[in-house]
Amino acid sequence: MMNDMGMRFAAHRGVVNVDAGIRENTLASFRAAVEAKADLVELDVRLTADGSVVVLHDPDMLRVWGDPRRIDSVTLRELRDGWGDADQRIPTLEEVLTAVHGSGSRLLIDMDDEAFAAPALDVVMRCGMGREVEWCGALEAMRIIRGADADAIIWMPWSEAELPFLEDVETLRPQVLNAPHLAVGPDLVERAHELGLEVCCWTVDDEVQARHLAGIGVDGITSNRLAAIRESAHSFDVDHEENESERDERAFAVARLIAQDAAELVRESADEYRTHVHGKATPADLVTDLDGLIERLVRQALRAQFPEIPIVGEEMGGDEPECGDCWFLDPLDGSINYANGLPWFSFSLALVRDGSEPIVGAVIDPIGWRVITARRGYGAWAEGQRVTIPERAIDASDPLQGTVVAVELDNQSAWRGLNGIFGRLSERYCTLRVPGSGTASVFGIALGRGVGTLIGHFGPVDHFAGVLIVHEAGGVIMDMSGRETLNPRNSGFLASRDRRCAGALAQVWHEALSELE
């Protein structure tokens, strides 16, 4: 099934060009994919109220077409009312089959509900295109396709941490294992090939990741960026061994993608994972189902992408090596806020070298759930834009006057010296805030939220990512002795927008501790 270059590339919902007015899952996007010589054109099917098979990803038409109605609430005739250009409307599956027939590009029909399987297969067979179509989507839907067509090319969904065995595939008899790309590692590819299966993965839009996947032997990639990803995958040199800088670049890309997936899970979770909440070390140190779910998914992705790098996580622990690289993960920093319905919590993932040097960091901003990342020496980033600490007017006589400083408690308790710090800052008209997420309070400095953050004790899983982001955005990290560092282990530390504010805060902290001696 592969082309003569060894891999197949699927255009995800066609080739979309927003500037040219070409939307996803339209005849225009599919023709663009054929013109771009996509091996496969991926599309999604749904049913209208009268049972017509149409091409649309979402259950409603709001995101793509600005129409809030569900597609299953309108008939095909109602859907056609007022639509002129056939290339720029929701097409029927039959229209797409006719447009792509004989083009050299195959259709990859995706579905998230088994109810769509039989009607879609019926359309394909009526059009005589069974040999130009492949199928992916919900497992039960794939079973219906296989039961009706013994020769169908089926992509079996796979997102499990465990490797597949023969009994997992012998009933469905798929030709392809279809997995999210972060779950695809060399062990999965090897096992699938042993079972006689190709491995295809979705949805790959990062060139670095595309080269890596080509290097471990995947057979196909689904992408929103067909041309760029195809070129990157084909640029892989089989004789080249990934060096440290290249691995760091890939770690930066993977950390960002993992954080984006975690942010999406947080956005979609609402109250679903607040059902089971319990204390860990103390009743004020809470863990929820969402903590565990995110950590399991992140560990699965990291083990697939970097099987050689140990992981230390907030909920599942782990052993930090004496030297070399290690991932530090807090899946939900600020769990007590989340458990109590306060929308101020975060996520922290950092790659640290030799126990002291953060190389990559990724966090989730509670405001908008956007992802903030940093790579040592390459800056801090948010949504493709470089992050630098915003300028602000500082009182000439006192850099702390009229400002806000964040502080985080030791669970529910004040740490040593905090009461004295509070008193001294109050006298200088500086206001303390206790937001409830150490991760967010630290990296918030990079976004201009206050002039400083005080943390009573450094925690690698909570703080390494935020520390790196502040540093790369131009801020300052100091330990309790006033030493600038990116590794304030076994100490309290502060993050600040600049050296003047950092020095003033360090002096306040020193005075508060001296008073206790």
- Please give the angle made by the CA atoms of 54, 62 and 297, to the nearest 5 degrees: 90
User: Is residue 135 within 8 Å of 114, Cβ to Cβ?
Assistant: no
Buried b (16+ CB within 10 A) or exposed e, 410-436: eeeeebebbebbbebbeeeebeeeebb
Residue 462 annotated as binding site: yes
Report how far residue 71's alpha carbon sits from residue 78's, in angstroms, rounded to the nearest whole number.
10
User: Is residue 513 within 8 Å of 420, Cβ to Cβ?
Assistant: yes
Q: Read off the amino acid at residue 505.
A: L
Q: Read off the amino acid at residue 186.
A: P
User: Is residue 186 within 8 Å of 164, Cβ to Cβ?
Assistant: no
Rg (CA), the chain: 26
Q: What are the backbone angles phi and psi of residue 71, rounded to the nearest 5°?
A: -65, -30
Q: Read off the amino acid at residue 299.
A: R
Report how far residue 387's alpha carbon sits from residue 129's, in angstroms, rounded to the nearest whole number.
51
180 - beta bridge partners?
202
Residue 333 annotated as binding site: yes
Residue 285 annotated as binding site: no
Residue 315 annotated as binding site: no
Residues 6+ apart with CB under 8 A from 137: 109, 110, 111, 112, 157
Listed residue (315, 367, 343, 348) closest to 470, CA to CA: 348
Q: Read off the amino acid at residue 440.
A: A
Binding-site annotation, residues? 314, 330, 332-333, 462
Instruction: Report the binding-site residues for Mg(2+).
Output: 314, 330, 332-333, 462
